[in-house]
A and B are shown apart, each in its own frame.
Chain A
Amino acid sequence: MPSVSERLVTPGRAAGGVALVAFAAVALAYPSIAPNPYLLSVGIVVLNYAVLSTSWNFVGGFTGYISLGHGALAGLGAYGTGLLVTKGGLPSFGALVVAALLVAALAVPIGYAALRVRGASFVIVSIALVLVTLLVFQSWASFTGGSRGLNVPRPFPGMLRPEHHRVFFYLFLALLAVALLVWWLIDRSRFGLGLKAIREDEDKAEALGTPTFAYKLVVFVVSAFFTGLAGGLYALWFGDLDPIFQFSILTGSYMVLMALLGGVRNLFGPLVGALVVGVALEYFKVEFGNTPLHLVATGVLLALVVLFMPDGVLPALGSLLRRLDRTTDSSIREVTAAELAAQRIGGEQHAQSRNG
């Protein structure tokens, strides 16, 4: 009988692989099967959430530092792209990349201030980032358009709306794939190992020679870059920016909620969370309109996840699968009483034959 460790395809992995292939197939086919442009745009919004929370998970998942301010980074990416197109005259996708690079560059001083000390200060800075960017972008009306908003010209002027949605659906899907790939690569690298050591015990990691500050800063910048890209792509798709929505503390909390719900230690955790929460948010908007109750729903959901499921649904599903499948690894060897008796008798006979 092959030992457990030699079995590369465990049921958990098989289920994960099947789910991934199924998701990819459905995602690729979605623009063709979506019955109307509205549902296609919902798909784009959900994908945007998936990219955002996967980007958030570079910091949250690897290092355990929880940022509530990634909404501001996305907003900066969006406004950066919009302003570079309208005021700088750059081509749309050139502006997108430049804006994301600028956000990444800005993340260096922010990270420098936020990451020198442990957790609590980091959260405080991340919230302050949202509040200060909202303040600046609302007040500096001559440059940003202020509360009147900013119109971003479409990258494909002649395109009809459904076709426009379709193109952006695939663009978001591609960005999601790249973000997931980079997360996966870091997860398997020495760098990722160091980051996870920070998450588990920062003092020990530092004592063992991990350059904790540099690692945290680098991964924060990577996270900011992807967040900026997602925000910028959203700006090009949606075409209309308002500081209230771009620099909302809620955007950041959605990212956290999605990643936590799915499971921050899993590659696909934020994606799963985004599918659940994103669809729920859109459904809520349709059913109940724009009442303050969506705040209550978000808050209650976040509190429930934090209190009862801080590891997320994917690990919970994984342990459920393991429990259903008795043959896989468990700390207690599962041997039937008959097998045990047979082993004992065999052993005793062996001993007797040696003694005799």
Chain B
Amino acid sequence: MPSGALLFQSVILGLLLGGLYALLAAGLTLYFGIMRVVMIAHSAFLILAAYLAWWSHTELGVDPLLSMVVTVPLFFAAGVLLQRLLLARLRPVTLTMMSVLLTFAIAVVIEGLLGYVFSGTQRRIQLGYGSASLELFGARIAVVKLIAFGLAAVALLSLYLVMKKTAFGWALRATIQHRDAARLVGIDTDRVAGFGFGLGLATAAIGGTALSLDTTIYPSLHWHWIGPLMAIIVVGGLGSVPGAAAAAMVLGLAQSLLQIELGTTWAQTVFYIALFLTLAVRPQGFFGGRLAQRF
């Protein structure tokens, strides 16, 4: 039996990790809601943002957090273009399947280009405050993990406020709920869908920067993220943001606790086990509404 302090530390780390998962899963949920698209390239963009943060730190010497000034607008624009120029061209009948292949292709291209430009070497940001940590009831929490969690929490909160309090958020939610009806009341759904994609990809930029603070990155890392993220959105119920957030917290916590006994590699399987069990027992997920029933 692990000691109380170790257990407590794992719980804290699990919650911090769960926050990052929740932010990234929110992006995936957004795409799925808008277009019924499973965006495989989400985590590839995540790693791309992490590489850009690493690059701006080592080459330009600025704090990796500052890279977000560039990457967030850049990724927003990329998301809008991705939706308007590529995904909107696919046939509606086969959209779900073909969009998976298209975003998969994008993910592979990003991985290949990252490998070509930055080589396959593992990279890590060396920060002045990288090794600093806080003591809290006997648990040691790295400051960078707190920063990463803070970023994710702020981003999630802003996303929530945009969705609930702004006219654009209302238009976006209307588009998600009923595209035809939204068009009838005068919403330019194509435009809104494009901006929604931009918003989703902007979360990947923030998440990637947070990730780069305390993680060793390499081009094929995105496969280790897309699996857990997809498991989270299925367990939460496809299309449900609160569901995704709750599932992210629960599974992040479970992963962190299982790491004590099983080690990092085997602890990852908890996502896949949860995915299979959810689909076998309750395919619409644990928070999913009408949308998830059919996908």
A119 to B96, CA, bound (A): 7
Given A125-B276, A292-B111, decide whether A117 and B227 contact each other with a Cβ distance below 8 A: no
* B94 in contact with A310 (CB, 8 Å): yes
CA distance A291 to B101 in the complex (A): 23
Most chain B Cβ neighbours within 10 Å, of A64, A138, A296:
A296
CB-CB contacts below 8 Å: B79-111 with A: 86, 89-91, 94, 96-98, 100-102, 104-109, 111
Interchain CA distance A124-B269 in the complex, whole Å: 15
Q: Are B223 and A120 in contact, CB atoms less than 8 angstroms apart?
A: no
Chain B's nearest CB lies how many Å from the CB of A88?
Answer: 25
Q: Is A302 an interface residue (CB 8 A)?
A: yes
Tell me the residues in window 238-271 of chain B with beta carbons closer than 8 Å to chain A beta carbons: 238, 265-266, 268-269, 271
In contact, A293 and B98 (Cβ under 8 angstroms)? no
Asked if B289 is at the interface of the complex by the 8 Å CB criterion, the answer is no
Number of interface residues of B (CB under 8 A): 52
Whether A116 contacts B223 in the complex (CB less than 8 A), given A64-B94, A127-B40, comes out as no
Within 8 A of A (CB), among B108-156: 108-109, 111-116, 120
A39 at the binding interface (Cβ < 8 Å) = no
| B185 touches A (CB below 8 Å) | no
Closest chain B residue to A140, Cβ basis: B266
CB < 8 Å: which of A116, A131, A260, A293 contacts B112?
Answer: A293
B32 with A120: CB separation less than 8 A: yes
Given contacts A121-B283, A131-B272, contact A295 B109 (CB under 8 A): yes
Check if B102 sits within 8 Å of A306, measured CB to CB: yes
Contact bitstring A253-274, B, C-beta under 8 A = 1, else 0: 1001000100000000000000
Contact call A117/B294, Cβ cutoff below 8 A: yes
- Complex Cα distance A118/B230, Å? 15
Residues of B close to A65: CB separation below 8 A? 97
CA distance A139 to B263 in the complex (A): 10
> Please, which residues of chain B bring their CB within 8 A of the CB of A138?
265
Least CB distance from B187 to A in Å reads 25
Contact A302 B101, CB 8 Å, known A64-B94, A296-B116, A307-B86: yes
A residues in contact (CB < 8 Å) with B: 64-66, 68, 109-110, 112-114, 116-121, 123-125, 127-128, 131-132, 135-136, 138-139, 249-250, 253, 256, 260, 291-300, 302-303, 306-307, 310
A127-B227, A139-B265, A310-B91 known; 8 new pairs, CB 8 Å cut-off, are: A117-B293, A123-B38, A127-B230, A253-B104, A291-B116, A292-B116, A298-B108, A307-B102
- The 8 A-B pairs with the shortest beta carbon distances in the complex, nearest first, are A292-B115, A295-B112, A299-B109, A299-B108, A296-B112, A303-B105, A302-B105, A113-B279
A-B contact pairs, 11 of them (CB 8 A): A64-B94, A113-B276, A121-B234, A128-B227, A295-B112, A296-B108, A299-B106, A299-B109, A299-B112, A306-B98, A310-B91
Q: Give B contacts to A, CB under 8 Å.
A: 32, 36, 38, 40, 86, 89-91, 94, 96-98, 100-102, 104-109, 111-116, 120, 219, 223-224, 226-227, 230-231, 234, 238, 265-266, 268-269, 271-272, 275-276, 279-280, 283-284, 293-295
